[in-house]
Amino acid sequence: MQQKYNPHVIEREAQKYWEKSAAFRAAESPDKPKYYCLSMFPYPSGKLHMGHVRNYTIGDVLTRYYRMKGYNVLQPMGWDAFGLPAENAAMANGVPPARWTYDNIVDMKKQLASLGFAIDWSRELATCRPEYYRWNQWLFLRMLEKGLVYKKTGVVNWDPVDQTVLANEQVIDGRGSGWPERVKTMQANWIGKSFGVRFAFPYELPAGSNLPSPSGRGAGGEGGASEAQAPDKGLLWVFTTRADTIMGVTFCAVAAEHALAARAARDNAKLTAFVEECRRCSVTEADLATMEKKGMPTGLTVTHPLTGEPVPVWVGNYVLMAYGEGAVMGVPGHDQRDFDFATRQRLPIKPVIKPRGGALELPLKAAHLEYGVCFNSGQYDGLDYEQAVDTIAADLQAKGLGEKQVLYRLRDWGISRQRYWGTPIPIIHCDHCGDVPVPDGDLPVVLPEDCVPDGTGNPLAKREDFLKCKCPKCGKPARRETDTMDTFVDSSWYYLRYACPDNGGHMVDERVQYWLPVDQYIGGIEHAILHLLYSRFWTKVMRDLGLVTLEEPFTNLLTQGMVLNEIYSRRSESGRIAYYNPAEVEVTQDDRGSRNAVLRADGQPVDFGGLGTMSKSKNNGVDPQELIDHYGADIARFFMMFTSPPEDTLVWSDAGVEGAARYLRRLWTFAWRFSKTATKSSDALRGAALPKELAGVRREVHAVLKQANYDIRRHQFNTVASAAMKILNALERAPETGPARNAVAHEGLGILLRLLSPITPHVSHHLWRELGFGKDVLAAPWPEPDPSALIEEEIELVVQVNGRKRGDVRVPRDADSKAIETIVLADPAVRKFVNGQPVKKVVVVPGRLVNVVV
RNA sequence: GCCGGGAUGGCGGAAUUGGUAGACGCAGCGGACUCAAAAUCCGCCGGUGGCAACACCAUGAGAGUUCGAUUCUCUCUCCCGGCACCA
């Protein structure tokens, strides 16, 4: 055995061993429980970043752990290879996106290999290959047949929150695992199921003023806008979750795209301009919520369905055409947006809800949002929220002007992109037959890979060889669709394809039945909504088509935290900010922690800008390749696992990496010295009583192992790494000589190398062989603590008086409460603090503490 | 703005069901080894007072429940993630 730890040599050796023995090739095997461990596949940007390293290390730790626990484990890898960056790179370098992407894949695969991940590369896939994306196209056509592509209801009626998330949960040690609560809550809010009332304000327009036909509206078909046959009379439909406030309506607001707005704008130039302005502005939620509430009167009035009073109609920039009816009732007294709008437009505010058993403070300074009791509301006065909603909904229904309704915030998924580097949408435009789906037999519609986008639109539009085709229906010349699919389509089902990447004839086959669902999915929290929701949606579609029997694609989800680093900058006199990589900055700290940072290059101070995600713009990235080149994979992996729990953010620290290196060198040195002195037998442990000190060391090793096994099951890998440190510390404390010591060290090293092997597989592999434990640590069983090593004759109890620690006592292991009480009350420290006062009670927590209450 | 999450020494973090706050590591300080430095090893290391024994304070701020709260409840402050064409 070498005296010096040389990570690069042993890592290359271990990786060769795994490659030669095809160690990570996963085959369907019915005699073992399966474990499908999946990390989110990377976008092939060209270089791994630290987030990837962290993500895949977490996945690899689980993969190797479950394998040693006897599972048949699959850990695949692939490439989320379509997307915008390739087009941007293409424009910058004049290289086709395909070429750029494939080159990047080669580079990144090499990097992944150098980290020693237990990946089954035989299942590798890239979403930009026709043999993958043809199934995007195929499934798109199935959805088209089913009407899912157009039909709004197909999407929104799916309510995962009420379905199987909880039912599928796996329970570990009595603790719910599965999906983090916050992800479920976020998705639930995103879907945004809300219960309310849909109702209408009747109106009459001057005769002969036909409404233009509605645009872009799917559901809510019989709404006011489509009452075009009755030009004089119409209904303005709205949705509200607060029907109890209906008597407080002082206006209505419609979206700029609403038919009534268009009607009113026809002979009103100012309103036309305003409608145009609204159309142009952003529709993101954040902007909508914070922008100024602008509006303009349409000059039209509608009739309140319950009071019969006239209500003015406004166009409001805060009303979203895509949600509900594209129109809202305005109740400024009880809705903050309406309040802002009414205040700005000097519209009346009519409060109609007051706190139960109290009064409103008038005039209102802000909308009163809490539920309460109706007042100022005619026949509804005195009703509470539920009674009011029920009564009002019934009254509206009686007039044929409304009903209760469930509405979802979830919008349609617009999947088409005006981009080149994506899956072609398999549609053909024919002048005679309209939009015609490409027949299954003609799939895939292959994306030409030699285009170079130049920033002037989709290059496919200029490719005659792509565009020109025959209409599948009538055979006449026709044109192909040039839009491509959102890349979220690619990532919505790739985890199924890993089960059967070689099947040229079908999208999925029976191997999906074996491997799926994914037992553990690992990725960034930033994907908690979109990607995960799309994947679940996609799975349900495939289930409905009979392609899979899965209810949910992922049983457990681990959302890993981001990798942060310090940010340093300097503002020049011109006001421009220059960012400096933390590696170029020398930081000194006094013992109070105040920080002094200077740039190494010039010795001048730089500003510390806090912590931020590693990014190009802040120039605070650390290249994983440099880390691996310098320290090797095991040290990088150990640092990643030790520094933070997987779900928390991880702050980069050069000193922390150095600490990880120090530990592994210390482990190596210990193993080396052991190899010089030890016999290869642990027989001395059996039967023979160990000296007290060695028994203590052994007890600690097993106690730490017990805790570590709990921690690894709950995915708290930082304390597993720290357990490995504690075990080495304990072994180093043992006296240096003697067969009993060697036996304890031998057993301890055997435990330690196995415990470490998921985190630092290379050094574990090497030392396992070198010290004669066996041929392959991966084939060894996971270590379990020996209960007999944990037994102590005397245990230590903490003694409290009135909940404050006042000392500790040693008592026999099997002492009962009574005996403990007697011992404790006789303790001098206790007597001092009891100080003659009567003892009210004594709380004994077995094995932990005793609290004397006076 | 809405939704979600978080806050513990100089730093990363630990504390399993409410039971010794600060495990393990980093940084720092002191010492050994060395001609010297690096590496390595040993010791100290939340704050205040005290020679010390020890006492008091302390888990973002404020209240509450409890024999006992980092942990449970309420209010507040600050930081982070998502918000639908970035992936």
How distant is C1' of B20 from CA of A810, in Å?
14
Asked if A52 and A624 touch (Cβ cutoff 8 Å), the reply is: yes
Specify which residues A427 forms β-bridges with: A437
Q: Which of residues 40-59 of A touch strand B (CB under 7 A)?
A: 43
Could you tell me if the ipTM is greater than 0.85?
A: yes
Q: Which nucleotide is nearest to A417 (CA to C1')?
A: B85
How distant is C1' of B74 from CA of A325, in Å?
38
Asked if A190 and A410 touch (Cβ cutoff 8 Å), the reply is: yes
- Mean pLDDT, rounded, for A262-269: 85
Specify which residues A254 forms β-bridges with: A315, A327
Chain-centroid distance, C-alpha A666: 37
Give residue A841's pLDDT.
Answer: 83
Give residue A512's pLDDT.
Answer: 96
Amino acid at A715: H
Q: Which residues of A382-410 are buried (b: 16+ CB within 10 A; e: fewer)?
A: ebebeebbebbbebbeeeebbebbebbbb
* Max CA pair span of chain A: 108
Nucleic strand B near CB of residue A241 (< 7 Å): no
Pick the range with the lowest mean pLDDT from A65-74, A343-352, A592-601, A782-791: A592-601
Give residue A579's pLDDT.
Answer: 84
CA dist A690 and A701 (Å) reads 14
Residues present in chain A in total:
854
> Residue A394's closest CA among A379, A409, A372?
A379
Q: Which nucleotide is nearest to A190 (CA to C1')?
A: B3
How distant is C1' of B27 from CA of A731, in Å?
26
Percent residues over pLDDT 70 in chain A: 89
pLDDT averaged over chain A? 85
Pick the range with the lowest mean pLDDT from A24-38, A352-366, A417-431, A469-483: A352-366
Give residue A636's pLDDT.
Answer: 95
Q: Which nucleotide is nearest to A796 (CA to C1')?
A: B20
Phi/psi at A196 (5° precision)? -165, -155
Q: Which of residues 155-194 of A touch strand B (CB under 7 A)?
A: 175, 181-182, 185-186, 189-190, 192
Nucleic strand B near CB of residue A643 (< 7 Å): yes
Q: Does the pLDDT of residue A153 top 60, yes or no? A: no
CA dist A271 and A266 (Å) reads 8
Give residue A230's pLDDT.
Answer: 44
Nearby residues of A537 by Cβ (< 8 Å), 6 or more positions away: A155, A158, A413, A492
Give pLDDT tens digits for A510-550: 999 999 999 999 988 777 777 888 888 889 889 999 999 98
**Whole-number Cα distances in Å, A182 to A187, A318, A365:** 8, 28, 34
Pick the range with the lowest mean pLDDT from A22-31, A282-291, A671-680, A734-743: A282-291
Nearby residues of A650 by Cβ (< 8 Å), 6 or more positions away: A54, A561, A562, A563, A564, A640, A643, A644
Q: Which of A160-174, A310-324, A675-689 has the highest mean pLDDT?
A: A310-324
Give residue A217's pLDDT.
Answer: 35
Q: Does the pLDDT of residue A692 top 90, yes or no? A: no
Peptide bond into A363 cis (omega under 30): yes
Give residue A312's pLDDT.
Answer: 94
CA dist A253 and A236 (Å) reads 10
Give residue A282's pLDDT.
Answer: 60
Nucleic strand B near CB of residue A817 (< 7 Å): no
Nucleic strand B near CB of residue A808 (< 7 Å): yes
CA dist A117 and A152 (Å) reads 43
CA dist A777 and A761 (Å) reads 9
Percent residues over pLDDT 90 in chain A: 46
Q: Which nucleotide is nearest to A593 (CA to C1')?
A: B10
Q: How confident is the model at residue A229 (pLDDT cuts 50, 70, 90)?
A: very low
Pick the range with the lowest mean pLDDT from A120-129, A575-584, A708-717: A575-584
Q: Does the pLDDT of residue A350 top 50, yes or no? A: yes
Sign of the four-CA dihedral A766, A767, A770, A774? negative
Angle ∠(A215,A285,A564) on CA atoms, nearest 5: 140
Q: Does the pLDDT of residue A127 top 90, yes or no? A: yes
Q: Which residue has the higher pLDDT, A837 or A762?
A: A762
Give residue A187's pLDDT.
Answer: 74
Give residue A501's pLDDT.
Answer: 96
Give residue A684's pLDDT.
Answer: 57
Q: Does the pLDDT of residue A808 top 50, yes or no? A: yes
How distant is C1' of B44 from CA of A571, in Å?
41
Give pLDDT tens digits for A276-293: 887 776 666 666 666 777
- Mean pLDDT, rounded, for A232-261: 88
Nucleic strand B near CB of residue A658 (< 7 Å): yes
Q: Does the pLDDT of residue A359 top 80, yes or no? A: no
CA dist A182 and A341 (Å) reads 33
Q: Which nucleotide is nearest to A289 (CA to C1')?
A: B1
How distant is C1' of B81 from CA of A366, in Å?
29
Q: Which nucleotide is nearest to A415 (CA to C1')?
A: B85
How distant is C1' of B45 from CA of A730, in Å?
21
- Mean pLDDT, rounded, for A562-587: 82
Q: Does the pLDDT of residue A206 top 70, yes or no? A: no
Q: Does the pLDDT of residue A152 top 60, yes or no? A: no
Nucleic strand B near CB of residue A589 (< 7 Å): yes
Q: Which nucleotide is nearest to A337 (CA to C1')?
A: B1
Crossing angle of helices A654-677 and A761-770, rounded to 10°:
10
Q: Which residues of A478-494 are buried (b: 16+ CB within 10 A; e: fewer)?
A: bbbbbbbbbbbbbbbbb
How distant is C1' of B43 from CA of A9, in Å?
36
Q: Does the pLDDT of residue A192 top 70, yes or no? A: yes
- Mean pLDDT, rounded, for A644-650: 89
Give residue A794's pLDDT.
Answer: 80
Q: Which of A89-93, A124-128, A300-304, A334-338 has the highest mean pLDDT?
A: A124-128
Q: How confident is the model at residue A228 (pLDDT cuts 50, 70, 90)?
A: very low
How distant is C1' of B80 from CA of A118, in Å?
33
How distant is C1' of B25 from CA of A590, in Å?
20
The DSSP-derived string for A140-187 is HHHHHHHTTTT-HHHHHT--GGGTTTTTT--EETTEE-SS-HHHHHHH
- Mean pLDDT, rounded, for A371-400: 91
Nucleic strand B near CB of residue A409 (< 7 Å): yes
Q: Which two tokens stand for residue A780?
A: 């060894």
Q: Does the pLDDT of residue A215 top 60, yes or no? A: no
Give pLDDT tens digits for A603-628: 888 887 777 788 777 888 888 999 99
Q: How confident is the model at residue A188 (pLDDT cuts 50, 70, 90)?
A: confident
Give residue A740's pLDDT.
Answer: 85
Q: Does the pLDDT of residue A160 top 50, yes or no? A: no
Radius of gyration of chain A (CA): 34
Nucleic strand B near CB of residue A501 (< 7 Å): no
Q: How confident is the model at residue A509 (pLDDT cuts 50, 70, 90)?
A: very high
The DSSP-derived string for A80-110 is ---SHHHHHHHHHHT--HHHHHHHHHHHHHH
Q: Is the pTM of this model over 0.90?
A: no
How distant is C1' of B27 from CA of A658, in Å?
12
> Residue A495's closest CA among A59, A41, A138, A35?
A41
Give residue A207's pLDDT.
Answer: 58
Pick the range with the lowest mean pLDDT from A312-316, A552-556, A576-580: A576-580
The DSSP-derived string for A276-343 is HHHHHS---HHHHHHS---EEEEEEEEE-TTT--EEEEEEETT--TTSTTSEEEE-TTT-HHHHHHHH
Q: How confident is the model at residue A633 (pLDDT cuts 50, 70, 90)?
A: very high
- Mean pLDDT, rounded, for A233-242: 88
A663: left (phi over 0), alpha (psi -120 to 50) or beta: alpha
Which positions on chain B have an atom < 7 Å from some protein CB? 1-5, 10-17, 19-21, 23-29, 39-42, 55-56, 67-69, 80-87
Chain-centroid distance, C-alpha A719: 23
